[in-house]
Amino acid sequence: MKGELKMFNSIVEKLLKAEEETPVVEYIEARKLHGRIDLSLNQEAMEEETFRDLLEDLVLTTPRTSSKLFFNQLFGGRKSKAVLGDLLAVMLNNSMYTYKVGGPQVGVEKSIINKLCEMVGYGEAGNGTFPSGGSMSNLMAMIMARDAHDPKIKLEGTAKKLIVYTSKASHYSTPKNAAMMGIGRNNVRFVDTDSKGELQSDHLEELILEDLEKGNTPFFVNLTAGTTVLGAYDPIPPTSRICKKYNLWLHVDGAYGGGVIFSKKYKHLVAGLEEADSFSVNAHKMLGTPLTCSIILTKHSQQLYDSFSNNAEYLYQTDGDDFNLGKISMQCGRRNDALKFWTLWKSVGTETLEKYVDQQFYLAEVAREYISNHPDYTLYSYDDSISICFNYKGIDANELCTLLYQEAEIMVGFGQFQEDEFIRFVTINSENKKEDILNFFAKLESFVAKSVQLSSEVTR
């Protein structure tokens, strides 16, 4: 192992230096990838030196998602204490299904779950787990909702037409999960949003009544805390009242924006969260933990157990169900995603996680203010969001983002809401400073100025 650790250190040092000097890596066309790096697998072992060089080349040609100029997705930056935890998780290579194999690591996971349950107001009645990502967290919520509606479905299946409600601006995992569960994509109702992208609860109730009229069976409502494009927060209290009235499970998908529970200043965006039956949050988004680190919480701990426990004599051999986390998870073998979040949280404290969240909103304000003061820009997003959606000089967002990527200038993506397509600039990297945000705009503007020709060529 010593040789590999040395190799690791030397490659990582080069990576860190490269990230500083060249925040956006040179673009390699997908169809030319295999010609550029030898990724083939061979019969013979490789000579150590050649292997090292190849590995270094692979690392240094990979997109730099932790750099100052990566704004393409809903994650960014690198929290060193979290990285340390993840490296140790790999070294330990536990599986989180039993206490026998996970030992104190099980306590690490439980400690985070308990603390989060306390923070969202579920208290002792709550429990949760770390699924493999936000999509799977949402799937677990839908499964619990189905079983809470009718526990027999798990055993016998059902011919009932189960109906799911989610907003038009919600993440694609909801219809995908409905498809995977046999509920069917066509039994997902997409509720209208207002101009800010927030679900309209009046329309939700109308849709529920229509379904009841038709003899369908509504059972699940998904709200989003931070929609994937605009970063909008759906209103919890009016939706919760509707869910109680019609006896529906309310899930809040906070994969993107759920991190606001750490901020005194912004947790009002999820006011009423304690009324929801379940809540998911990705620590790998707002909370800066490496991918993937997703958490699902529910205030019905018995339902979590009833939906996901199975007996297996070959697996569960010691200790109680409380410490054998496989009884409340989807997977059998499960990676230790908790440790990296714990090493971060334990070392920097809750107050620092709060600062990370607040910094993202501050950077978003800097960006919105810049846009508002510059007439060449059009803004499409709203306050209280860390997604800043805009267009510059009316240039096609898709073309501009793609050119910025291919020319290795900036990694940023584009999105759509209703009729508009725009650049989606995400200030999720809390290590960035005001000047990094201003630098983004400066780079964008000088790129456009020097490549008017380029972009008009693409248009033709």
Ligand X SMILES: *Cc1c(COP(=O)(O)O)cnc(C)c1O
Nearer to ligand X, 72 or 135 (CB): 135
Nearer to ligand X, 23 or 226 (CB): 226
Give the residue nearest to ligand X (CB). 134
Taking CB under 6 A as the rule, does residue 135 contact ligand X? yes
Task: Determine the Cα–Cα distance for residues 367 and 382; give it in Å rounded to an integer.
Answer: 12
Supply the minimum distance, in Å, between the C-beta of residue 387 and ligand X.
10
Taking residues 68 to 97 in sequence order and writing x for each that binds ligand X by CB under 6 A, - otherwise, the string is ------x-----------------------
Could you tell me if 155 and 147 are in contact, meaning their C-beta atoms sit under 8 angstroms apart? Answer: no
Supply the minimum distance, in Å, between the C-beta of residue 134 and ligand X.
2
Residue 110 in tokens: 């439980």
| Cis peptide leading into residue 98 (ω within 30°) | no
Taking CB under 6 A as the rule, does residue 292 contact ligand X? yes
CB atoms within 10 A of CB 212: 13
Residue 81 in tokens: 């204490």
Interface with ligand X by CB under 6 A: which range of 130-138, 183-191, 268-276, 310-318? Answer: 130-138
Taking CB under 6 A as the rule, does residue 134 contact ligand X? yes
Taking CB under 6 A as the rule, does residue 171 contact ligand X? yes
Single out the residue of 94, 167, 228, 263 in contact with ligand X (rule: CB under 6 A). 228
Supply the minimum distance, in Å, between the C-beta of residue 100 and ligand X.
29
Nearer to ligand X, 89 or 136 (CB): 136
Supply the minimum distance, in Å, between the C-beta of residue 141 and ligand X.
11
267 φ/ψ angles, rounded to the nearest 5 degrees:
-70, -10
Task: Determine the Cα–Cα distance for residues 201 and 191; give it in Å rounded to an integer.
Answer: 8
Nearer to ligand X, 133 or 290 (CB): 133
Taking CB under 6 A as the rule, does residue 294 contact ligand X? yes
- The count of residues interacting with ligand X (CB under 6 A) is 15
Interface with ligand X by CB under 6 A: which range of 89-97, 224-232, 296-304, 309-317? Answer: 224-232
Burial class (CB in 10 A: 0-12, 13-18, 19+), 311: exposed
Supply the minimum distance, in Å, between the C-beta of residue 366 and ligand X.
22
Half-sphere exposure of 307 (CA within 13 A, CB side): 24
Closest CA to 279 of 233, 238, 241, 317: 233
Taking residues 383 to 422 in sequence order and writing x for each that binds ligand X by CB under 6 A, - otherwise, the string is ----------------------------------------
Nearer to ligand X, 74 or 395 (CB): 74
Indicate the SS3 state at residue 65: coil
DSSP assignment string, 132-157: SSHHHHHHHHHHHHHHHH-TTHHHH-
Nearer to ligand X, 23 or 254 (CB): 254
> Which stretch of DSSP H or E encloses residue 224?
strand 217-224
Half-sphere exposure of 333 (CA within 13 A, CB side): 2
Taking CB under 6 A as the rule, does residue 256 contact ligand X? yes
Task: Determine the Cα–Cα distance for residues 263 and 411; give it in Å rounded to an integer.
Answer: 28
Single out the residue of 255, 276, 389, 410 in contact with ligand X (rule: CB under 6 A). 255
Could you tell me if 253 and 199 are in contact, meaning their C-beta atoms sit under 8 angstroms apart? Answer: no
Task: Determine the Cα–Cα distance for residues 115 and 281; give it in Å rounded to an integer.
Answer: 14
Supply the minimum distance, in Å, between the C-beta of residue 389 and ligand X.
14
CB atoms within 10 A of CB 116: 21
Supply the minimum distance, in Å, between the C-beta of residue 378 and ligand X.
24
Could you tell me if 210 and 174 are in contact, meaning their C-beta atoms sit under 8 angstroms apart? Answer: no
Taking CB under 6 A as the rule, does residue 133 contact ligand X? yes
Nearer to ligand X, 113 or 403 (CB): 113
Indicate the SS3 state at residue 30: helix
Residue numbers 48-67 binding ligand X by CB under 6 A:
none
Q: Cα-Cα-Cα-Cα dihedral of 426, 170, 117, 315, to 10°?
A: -110
Single out the residue of 105, 167, 193, 224 in contact with ligand X (rule: CB under 6 A). 224
Task: Determine the Cα–Cα distance for residues 11 and 20; give it in Å rounded to an integer.
Answer: 15
Taking CB under 6 A as the rule, does residue 173 contact ligand X? yes
Interface with ligand X by CB under 6 A: which range of 13-21, 131-139, 237-245, 312-320? Answer: 131-139
Single out the residue of 98, 127, 239, 282 in contact with ligand X (rule: CB under 6 A). 282
Residues lying near ligand X in the complex (CB under 6 A) are found at 74, 133-135, 171, 173, 224, 226, 228, 253, 255-256, 282, 292, 294
